[in-house]
């Protein structure tokens, strides 16, 4: 699948930035459109950087045209300051972008969700992620791929102290039999798996959800 146009939102995050890096190096993609609130500081002829206001998607939704949309946007409750703001970033912005892209004819959608995502969960974060998974599965993409990693490992552009502590604790507890399904995964591997799946989409089901173990096995 050559000369594709990729779209990335959440490009300043751990997985999003890795997606940008790999797409720019991948000969299958001739163009990368990034929609972001701040510049990535990258100079590459394949990169089309769009600085946008996600609260005003009506002003730029017509630009969401291409072959595959990678959605890797997300924040923490601490950084967002409230559940309402976190919901807007993690759910509303991503859903509205996906809806516009689907309506513009984008065929393939790859979403970073989370382990434990469930629209009926009693936990706010898991419920929010599950609601988004459920909502985007109803959109008219040709292929929808949802990735549910556990805690992410890798260098971020922003520091997340709670996540670093979580990595240490998770690394300890996942040595216990039965808890390996919660072991950390690198943002790099998730990004590579997402690109691999997008490139093999014609051979796959119309909609697939990849658990942590399945993400690990995708590139083996």
CA distance 125 to 123: 6
pTM for the model: 0.89
> What is the predicted pLDDT for the residue at 196?
97
What Rg, from alpha-carbon coordinates, does the chain have?
A: 17
Residues 34/28, Cβ–Cβ less than 8 Å? no
Average pLDDT of the segment spanning 155-183:
52
Higher pLDDT, 109 or 183: 109
Among 94, 107, 102, residue whose Cα is nearest residue 10: 94
How much is the average pLDDT of 104-128?
Answer: 97
Q: What confidence tens digit (pLDDT) does each residue in 4-31 have?
A: 999 999 999 999 999 999 999 999 999 9
Integer angstrom CA distances of residue 157 from 13, 20, 40, 72, 82:
7, 14, 10, 14, 22
Domain 4-215 CATH assignment equals 3.40.50.720: yes
Q: Where are the domains of the chain?
A: 4-215
The pLDDT tens digits of the residues spanning 29-62 come to 999 999 999 999 999 999 999 999 999 999 999 9
In whole angstroms, give the CA distance from residue 107 to residue 101: 9
Query: What does the block give as tokens for 79?
Result: 């950084």
Residues catalogued as catalytic? 125, 129
**Residue 59: Cβ within 10 Å count:** 10
């Amino acid at each position: 699948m050559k000369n594709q146009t990729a779209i990335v939102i959440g490009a300043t995050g751990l997985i999003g930035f890795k997606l940008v890096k790999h797409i720019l190096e991948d000969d299958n993609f001739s163009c990368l459109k990034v929609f972001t609130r701040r510049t990535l500081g990258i100079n590459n002829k394949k990169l089309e950087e769009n600085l946008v206001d996600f609260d005003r998607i009506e002003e730029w939704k017509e630009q969401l045209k291409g072959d595959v949309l990678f959605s890797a946007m997300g924040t923490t409750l601490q950084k967002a300051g409230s559940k309402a703001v976190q919901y807007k970033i993690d759910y509303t912005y991503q859903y509205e972008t996906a809806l516009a892209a689907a309506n513009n004819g984008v065929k393939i959608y790859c979403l970073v969700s989370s382990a434990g995502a469930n629209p009926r969960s009693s936990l706010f974060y898991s419920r929010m992620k599950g609601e988004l998974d459920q909502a985007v599965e109803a959109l008219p993409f040709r292929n929808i791929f949802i990735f549910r990693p556990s805690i992410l490992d890798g260098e971020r552009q922003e520091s997340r102290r709670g996540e670093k502590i979580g990595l240490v604790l998770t690394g300890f507890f996942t040595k216990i039999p039965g808890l390996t399904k919660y072991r950390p995964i690198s943002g790099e591997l998730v990004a590579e798996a997402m690109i691999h799946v997008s490139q093999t989409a014609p051979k796959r089901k119309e909609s697939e959800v990849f658990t942590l173990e399945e993400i690990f096995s995708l590139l083996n």
